[in-house]
């Protein structure tokens, strides 16, 4: 316990809050008996316990009164403890090993085309086929990792695995039957609805906004690591092109994915030579109109409805666009060109 | 339940030179239904998100009840939110959807059951509790989303365009349902919409915003009858108020508003204000609502100094009323709303009279209503 004394003293002094060092019965620490990652902190009555280290029969914990710390201060303590090597992630459960694999993968920028090691896969007790969902908070500060994990576990009602990958985000592996797929609905729509539900639920229950991307069922053992890599990429691309949206599905972002592969210098040249009107920020009304037109599959009535304008007003705007640019986006070829031009323009703005 | 106080609140995003919300100062009373309304990008949703705790407040204070909540986590603010994308939990029944939040908060089972059934009763969905969301209609789903918020018994409800996903007919229906519900629950509501009709019909008070600034915060009646500026005047009311640029002149003891084909006498009460504030001889903006333009012969005879002649470009007969698009008055197309039995046809030249007691005059440079303040 001596090695934690300096840390305890500094935290007490900095946060003006008394902390004590104690031993906590190992078996009573939440999730110690399961394969899931034990909690980083634990509230019992008025006391708040922070995990320091795991001994043979007990845990070393840092204790304070629960009402002494705000959520942000708690997050700060977690971060300080993590920096000092105190994290339940270091336990040798299968989930924490998977978490470590993912963390390494993210740190190395590795595409991870490999399978999960057999012994870890077996210990995870996952079905052969499952749905991976990647959840990434918009603001790291506001996230209480343990609470996120607890809520997600309740939401899926045990038919899943939740792996919290530190500051990167959270992986949910859901059994296919948990989605309660509707025969009348495609898997993609079901998955989209489920992802939206997760996003909405976390806003309501935790006050945290997250981006979510999900994949159709995969073979867990051989495809999970590469799927997580792909989902993170999808989420990054989705955020780059559609920052207002929280749900990013791989099948909706094929073109955007391709466009991110084009060298920026080429994009700059291209947009500059052709896209002066499209990139004109001052004509926001036209930008919004065109975006809505594309979002409704170039359907005039639907676009007018979505923009709360009269159909004739929309037609007038489209005609004006044609007059000013020479492109009629009711024509398929022109629509494709303008769509790509607008996406490239978005990438340029995001990158700059 | 609780009131909400926003004290000189600002929202600035990093890298942006202008604030998205500027000096938002408002006291919302306990049990009040306040609607934030304005065009896209006016800052209404950002303000709501600051109250919810989803956005940090850059400057200023936010109180819910007596508690300063600037640094209180969203989940600890005791609020319930209903958003446009009300995404129900597809793998749970209606009952489970409503009970989920309470279960997380470890509310005893009996109490959860009582609250869910009570909410189901209030919303008229008690017979649907065992159904899954996919078996519900749009309106029923919206009710479940409201139910999820109600069971939490929060101090404050926040609603961000909750009716936008519904079709027009259902939206009108749900609008009155939500108003009735708020009154029944005696709860404080902050409601965001871009739809001025929704704001007018639902709110005890409406807060009209533009470019991050509050333009006017008042009852719908006050905003309609006494708009502070041209923006509010044009935003509230449908069809929107007509505006004409022209000059105020003193002629034979009367103050008259004059512009192309218009020469009308301002009533004495308003004329006194114009003289006192030194607007005689100045260019101003004249505002008159479509419903305050009359074609009835009896009106034209009674108020001959308010009469103008106009050419009917388009006439839309909606049965109970006619919407006339007129030219030849001032420098713009004007709209008049007249009785559906008026029988006016396109291409006709007609005489119309302004209800001069209800007209508005705005300063040309500040665009403020000169009769207020």
Distance, in Å, from the CA atom of A217 to the CA atom of A127, rounded to the nearest integer, reads: 11
Distance, in Å, from the CA atom of B322 to the CA atom of A211, rounded to the nearest integer, reads: 49
**A190/B90 CB distance under 8 A:** yes
Distance, in Å, from the CA atom of A186 to the CA atom of A265, rounded to the nearest integer, reads: 40
Check residues A315 and A30 and name the one with the higher pLDDT. A315
The pLDDT of residue A142: 52
Check residues B88 and A161 and name the one with the higher pLDDT. B88
CA distances from B365 to A148, B245, B282, B362 (A): 53, 12, 11, 9
Confidence of residue A93 (pLDDT cuts 50, 70, 90): low
Q: Is the pLDDT of residue A33 over 70?
A: no
The pLDDT of residue B1: 67
Q: Is the pLDDT of residue A347 over 80?
A: no
**B74/A190 CB distance under 8 A:** no
Contact B24, B74 (CB under 8 A): no
What residues in B contact A208, CB-CB < 8 Å? 74
**Token pair recorded at residue A310:** 């009269």
In 3-state terms, chain B is what percent helix, strand and coil (to 5)? 30, 35, 35
**A179/B54 CB distance under 8 A:** no
The pLDDT of residue B243: 96
Instruction: Find which of A29-33, A166-170, A288-292 is predicted with most confidence, using mean pLDDT.
Output: A288-292
The pLDDT of residue A1: 54
Cα of B309 to nearest chain A Cα, Å = 28
Least confident of A27-36, A172-181, B310-319: A27-36
Least confident of A9-13, A169-173, B167-171: B167-171
**Token pair recorded at residue B195:** 């739809």
Distance, in Å, from the CA atom of B186 to the CA atom of B122, rounded to the nearest integer, reads: 13
Distance, in Å, from the CA atom of B57 to the CA atom of A137, rounded to the nearest integer, reads: 19
Q: Which of B51, B69, B73 to mutate to test the interface with A (most CBs of A within 10 A)?
A: B73
Distance, in Å, from the CA atom of A161 to the CA atom of A99, rounded to the nearest integer, reads: 11
Distance, in Å, from the CA atom of A333 to the CA atom of A274, rounded to the nearest integer, reads: 15
CA distances from B301 to B122, B228, B297, B343 (A): 54, 32, 6, 19
Interface of B with A (CB under 8 A): 40-41, 52-54, 71-77, 80-81, 83, 85-91, 100-101, 103-104, 132, 134, 148, 194-195
Confidence of residue A90 (pLDDT cuts 50, 70, 90): very low
CA distances from B321 to B37, B263, B289, B337, B338 (A): 27, 27, 15, 7, 6
**Token pair recorded at residue B234:** 């044009």
The pLDDT of residue A143: 60
Contact A51, A40 (CB under 8 A): yes
With CA atoms as reference, the chain A residue closest to B167 would be A305
The pLDDT of residue A277: 55
**Token pair recorded at residue A50:** 């922070």
If DSSP codes are grouped into helix, strand and coil, which group holds residue A127?
Answer: coil
ipTM of the prediction: 0.80
Partnered with residue A175 across adjacent β-strands are: A130
Average confidence (pLDDT) over A264-283 = 68
Check residues B314 and A180 and name the one with the higher pLDDT. B314
Query: pLDDT tens, position by position, for chain B (373 residues)?
Result: 689 999 999 999 988 888 999 999 999 999 999 999 998 889 999 999 999 999 999 999 999 999 999 999 898 899 999 988 778 999 899 999 999 999 988 899 999 999 999 999 988 899 999 999 989 988 899 899 999 999 999 999 999 998 887 788 888 888 998 999 899 889 999 999 999 999 999 999 999 999 999 999 999 999 999 999 999 999 999 899 999 999 999 999 999 999 999 999 999 999 999 999 999 999 999 999 999 999 999 999 999 999 999 999 999 988 899 999 999 888 788 999 999 888 899 999 999 999 999 999 999 999 999 999 7
B302 contact partners, CB below 8 Å, separation of at least 6: none
Q: Is the pLDDT of residue A42 over 60?
A: yes
Distance, in Å, from the CA atom of B235 to the CA atom of B204, rounded to the nearest integer, reads: 18
With CA atoms as reference, the chain B residue closest to A184 would be B134
Cα of A91 to nearest chain B Cα, Å = 27
The pLDDT of residue A281: 54
Give tens-digit pLDDT for A111-143: 666 888 888 887 777 888 999 999 998 876 556
Cα of B255 to nearest chain A Cα, Å = 39
Contacts of B120-124 with CB under 8 Å at 24 or more apart are B120/B94, B120/B95, B120/B147, B122/B150, B122/B181, B122/B184, B122/B185, B123/B147, B123/B150, B123/B181
Cα of B43 to nearest chain A Cα, Å = 15
Confidence of residue A91 (pLDDT cuts 50, 70, 90): very low
**A70/B74 CB distance under 8 A:** no
The residue among B38, B36, B58 whose CA lies nearest residue B48 is B36
DSSP state of B214: E
Average confidence (pLDDT) over A191-209 = 91
Confidence of residue A92 (pLDDT cuts 50, 70, 90): very low
The pLDDT of residue B56: 92
What residues in A contact B90, CB-CB < 8 Å? 179-180, 190, 193-194, 197
Least confident of A35-39, A93-97, A336-340, B203-207: A35-39
The residue among A333, A335, A329 whose CA lies nearest residue A315 is A329
If DSSP codes are grouped into helix, strand and coil, which group holds residue B186?
Answer: coil
Distance, in Å, from the CA atom of B205 to the CA atom of B216, rounded to the nearest integer, reads: 10
Cα of B266 to nearest chain A Cα, Å = 36
B146 contact partners, CB below 8 Å, separation of at least 6: B82, B123, B162, B178, B181
Average confidence (pLDDT) over A174-194 = 79
What residues in B contact A197, CB-CB < 8 Å? 87-90
Distance, in Å, from the CA atom of B279 to the CA atom of A96, rounded to the nearest integer, reads: 76
Contact A318, A343 (CB under 8 A): no
Distance, in Å, from the CA atom of B71 to the CA atom of A249, rounded to the nearest integer, reads: 34
The pTM of the full predicted model, rounded to 2 decimals, is 0.79
Q: Is the pLDDT of residue A176 over 90?
A: no
Q: Is the pLDDT of residue A279 over 60?
A: no
Contact A38, A89 (CB under 8 A): no
Give tens-digit pLDDT for A51-80: 887 665 677 889 999 888 888 888 888 888
Check residues A33 and B150 and name the one with the higher pLDDT. B150
DSSP state of B72: S
């Amino acid at each position: 316990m001596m090695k934690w004394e300096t840390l305890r003293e500094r935290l007490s002094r900095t946060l003006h809050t008394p902390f004590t060092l104690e031993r906590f019965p190992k078996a009573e620490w939440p999730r110690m008996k399961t394969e899931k990652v034990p909690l980083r902190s634990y509230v019992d009555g008025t006391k708040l316990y922070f995990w320091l280290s795991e001994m043979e029969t007990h845990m070393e914990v840092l204790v304070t009164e629960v009402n002494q710390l705000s959520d942000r201060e708690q997050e700060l303590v977690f971060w300080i403890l993590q920096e000092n090597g105190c994290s339940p992630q270091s336990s040798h459960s299968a989930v924490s090993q998977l978490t470590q694999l993912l963390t390494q993968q993210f740190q190395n920028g590795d595409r991870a085309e490999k399978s999960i090691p057999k012994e870890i896969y077996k210990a995870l007790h996952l079905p052969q086929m499952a749905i991976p969902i990647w959840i990434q908070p918009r603001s790291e500060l506001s996230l209480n990792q343990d609470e996120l994990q607890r809520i997600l576990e309740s939401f899926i009602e045990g038919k899943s695995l939740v792996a919290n990958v530190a500051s990167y985000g959270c992986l949910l592996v859901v059994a296919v039957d948990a989605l309660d797929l509707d025969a009348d609905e495609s898997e993609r729509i079901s998955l989209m609805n489920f992802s939206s539900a997760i996003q909405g639920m976390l806003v309501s229950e935790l006050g945290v906004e997250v981006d979510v991307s999900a994949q159709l069922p995969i073979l867990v053992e051989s495809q999970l690591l590469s799927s997580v890599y792909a989902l993170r990429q999808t989420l990054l691309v989705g955020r780059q092109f559609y920052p207002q949206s929280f749900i990013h599905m791989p099948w909706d972002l094929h073109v955007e994915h391709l466009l991110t592969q084009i060298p920026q210098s080429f994009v700059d040249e291209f947009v500059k030579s052709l896209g002066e009107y499209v990139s004109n920020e001052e004509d926001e009304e036209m930008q919004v109109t065109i975006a809505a037109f594309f979002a409704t599959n170039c359907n005039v009535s639907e676009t007018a409805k979505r923009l709360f304008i009269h159909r004739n007003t929309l037609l007038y705007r489209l005609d004006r666009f044609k007059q000013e640019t020479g492109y009629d986006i009711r024509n398929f070829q022109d629509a494709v060109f303008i769509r790509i031009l607008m996406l490239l323009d978005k990438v340029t703005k995001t990158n700059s | 339940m609780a009131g909400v106080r926003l004290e000189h609140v600002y929202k600035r995003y990093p890298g942006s030179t202008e604030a998205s919300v500027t000096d938002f100062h408002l006291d919302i009373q306990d049990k009040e239904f306040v609607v934030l309304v304005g065009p896209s990008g006016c800052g209404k949703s950002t303000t709501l998100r600051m109250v919810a705790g989803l956005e940090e407040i850059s400057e200023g204070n936010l109180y819910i009840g007596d508690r300063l909540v600037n640094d209180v986590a969203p989940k600890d603010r005791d609020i319930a939110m209903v958003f446009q994308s009300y995404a129900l939990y597809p793998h749970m029944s209606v009952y489970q959807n409503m009970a989920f939040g309470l279960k997380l908060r470890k509310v005893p089972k009996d109490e959860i059951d009582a609250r869910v059934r009570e909410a189901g009763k209030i919303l008229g969905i008690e017979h649907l509790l065992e159904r899954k969301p996919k078996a519900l209609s749009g309106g029923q789903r919206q009710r479940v989303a409201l139910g999820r918020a109600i069971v939490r018994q929060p101090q404050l409800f926040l609603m961000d365009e909750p009716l936008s996903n519904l079709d027009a007919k259902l939206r009108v229906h749900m609008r009155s349902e939500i108003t009735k519900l708020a009154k029944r629950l005696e709860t404080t509501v902050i409601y965001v919409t871009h739809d001025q009709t929704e704001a007018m019909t639902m709110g005890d008070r409406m807060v009209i915003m533009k470019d991050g600034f509050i333009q006017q915060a008042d009852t719908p009646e006050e905003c309609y009858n006494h708009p502070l500026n041209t923006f509010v005047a044009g935003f509230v009311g449908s069809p929107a108020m007509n505006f004409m640029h022209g000059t105020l002149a003193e002629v034979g003891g009367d103050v008259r508003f004059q512009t192309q084909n218009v020469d009308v006498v301002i009533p004495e009460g308003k004329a006194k204000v114009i003289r006192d504030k030194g607007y005689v001889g100045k260019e101003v903006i004249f505002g008159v609502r479509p419903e305050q333009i009359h074609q009835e012969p009896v009106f034209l005879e009674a108020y001959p100094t308010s009469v103008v002649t106009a050419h009917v470009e388009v006439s839309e007969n909606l049965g109970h009323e006619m919407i006339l698009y007129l030219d030849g008055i001032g420098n713009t197309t004007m709209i008049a709303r007249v009785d559906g039995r008026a029988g006016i046809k396109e291409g006709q030249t007609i005489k119309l009279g302004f209800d001069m007691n209800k007209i508005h005059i705005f300063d040309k440079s500040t665009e403020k209503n000169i009769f207020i303040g």
